[in-house]
């Protein structure tokens, strides 16, 4: 994570991110986004499904060599299927771009996005695939959005744990109306203070949610001696969770997370 990651767009403009797009966290998060969205779309019907991504990033990023290699064994998965045309063009799609592929043409009004970064926001605005919210922050977008019970919100500001005490009420309020997938960069492995803060967050989340269902998966930030983990927290709306096929969705998400972790462990445990 030192120094961040910088790239050049085809038009020569440069941009920077704190991480390499298509890292194991993106793969885990996007695999779940694709599978949850497919499931909700089947439940709600194509025209009744909306997606909100208030921290959407850019529509696509240049594809790194590591990402391309990581995706090879996942080619036949739902994520692999929706990524294929982007990978073939040496690009990595953001989650909202994958949703646009799943939802099909004519869905731009139902795919709402926002990003604080002006360059990424311009790229979102010039894409025909999305509606870009008019706001000053992703948190404001989240507070203003009025989702339906079969919609999906991705909350992925990268470092949610840095601001969880302030923003958890907004996340919990969103969960009252719809299903939410929250991404967390979990640095608990870096020391006692981080671990304590993460435990405080989990206790606050569990206290607020009571016995409502949730599913959490994580993936090591690096195959080589990781000190951090990417974590995804699925907080389904109660109407989705009441559907008889909901247990099958959870099993599918677990299987996906385990398969991704199997790939990471192969690189982590033995070296040649
Ligand atoms: C991890 S990236 C998002 C990745 C994206 N969801 C994807 O699937 O590729 C986090 C993004 O959140 C944006 N961001 C950070 N704080 C924000 C805020 N308060 N409001 C809106 N966007 C914010 C950053 O500019 C960055 O593009």
Would you say 138 and 116 are in contact if contact means Cβ atoms under 8 Å apart?
yes
Phi/psi at 119 (5° precision) = -70, -40
Structure confidence by residue, pLDDT tens digits, 1-36: 334 556 565 555 555 666 678 899 999 999 999 999
How far is 206 from 212, CA to CA, in rounded Å? 9
pLDDT of residue 14: 57
pLDDT of residue 7: 57
Structure confidence by residue, pLDDT tens digits, 237-268: 999 999 999 999 999 999 999 999 999 998 88
pLDDT of residue 3: 43
262 C-alpha to ligand 1 centroid (Å)? 28
Ligand 1 lining (C-beta closer than 6 Å): 53-57, 94-95, 114-117, 120, 137-139, 154, 156-158
In this structure, what token pair is assigned to residue 122? 């311009």
The pTM score is 0.94
270 C-alpha to ligand 1 centroid (Å)? 34
34 C-alpha to ligand 1 centroid (Å)? 18
Tokens 């120094």, residue located: 3
Would you say 258 and 29 are in contact if contact means Cβ atoms under 8 Å apart?
no
Give me the chain's average pLDDT, please: 92
pLDDT of residue 17: 62
Question: What are the chain's domains?
Answer: 23-269 (3.40.50.150)
Structure confidence by residue, pLDDT tens digits, 36-93: 999 999 998 988 999 999 999 999 999 888 889 999 999 999 999 999 999 999 999 9
Would you say 61 and 22 are in contact if contact means Cβ atoms under 8 Å apart?
yes
Structure confidence by residue, pLDDT tens digits, 150-176: 999 999 998 999 999 999 999 999 999
Bridge partners (DSSP) of residue 5 are 17
54 C-alpha to ligand 1 centroid (Å)? 7
> Which ligand 1 atom sits nearest the alpha carbon of residue 57?
27
């Amino acid at each position: 994570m030192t120094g961040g990651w910088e790239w050049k767009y085809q038009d020569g403009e440069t941009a920077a991110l704190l991480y390499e797009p298509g890292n194991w966290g993106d793969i885990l998060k996007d695999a779940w986004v694709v599978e949850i969205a497919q499931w909700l779309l089947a439940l709600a019907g194509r025209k009744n499904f909306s997606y909100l991504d208030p921290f959407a990033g850019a529509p696509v990023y240049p594809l790194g060599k590591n990402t391309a290699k990581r995706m090879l064994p996942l080619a036949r998965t739902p994520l692999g299927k929706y990524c294929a045309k982007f990978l073939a063009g040496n690009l990595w799609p953001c989650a909202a771009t994958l949703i646009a592929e799943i939802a099909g043409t004519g869905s731009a009004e139902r795919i709402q996005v926002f990003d604080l970064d002006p360059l990424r926001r311009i790229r979102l605005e010039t894409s025909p695939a999305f509606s870009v919210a008019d706001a000053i922050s992703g948190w404001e977008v989240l507070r203003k959005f009025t989702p339906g019970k079969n919609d999906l919100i991705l909350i992925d500001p990268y470092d949610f744990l840095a601001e969880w005490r302030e923003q958890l009420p907004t996340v919990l309020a969103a969960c009252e109306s719809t299903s939410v997938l929250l991404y967390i960069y979990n640095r608990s492995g870096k020391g006692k203070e981080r671990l304590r803060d993460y435990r405080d967050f989990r206790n606050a989340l569990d206290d607020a949610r009571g016995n409502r269902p949730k599913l959490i998966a994580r993936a090591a930030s690096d195959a080589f001696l990781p000190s951090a983990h990417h974590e995804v927290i699925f907080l389904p709306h109660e109407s989705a969770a009441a559907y008889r096929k909901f247990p099958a969705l959870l099993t599918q998400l677990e299987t996906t997370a385990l398969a991704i972790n199997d790939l990471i462990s192969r690189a982590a445990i033995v070296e040649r």
